[in-house]
Amino acid sequence: MEHHPAAAWLGQAAVAAQQQGAGNLLRVVLIVMVLGCVFTAWFLLRGYKRKDD
């Protein structure tokens, strides 16, 4: 099996993530949830815009 530097970097990142805990993952999940809610609200509410022609 060949040695891939990218695979080694990914393995080191996984080990570092386990040592660090879920803090960064939780931040990312919360940010994505908030942005998703904002986008969903914009998408749903844009249909209520009045057109005064």
User: What is residue 42's predicted lDDT score, i.e. its pLDDT?
Assistant: 93
Which among 41, 22, 20 is positioned nearest to 30, based on CA atoms? 22
Backbone angles phi, psi at 52, to 5 degrees: -100, 85
Chain segment 12-50, per-residue pLDDT in tens: 766 766 666 678 888 999 999 999 999 999 999 988 776
Domain boundaries, the chain: 16-48
Q: Output the 3-class SS for the chain.
A: CCCCHHHHHHHHHHHHHHHHCCHHHHHHHHHHHHHHHHHHHHHHHHHHCCCCC
User: What is residue 35's predicted lDDT score, i.e. its pLDDT?
Assistant: 97
Find tokens 């209520």 and name the residue: 48
Find tokens 């993530």 and name the residue: 17
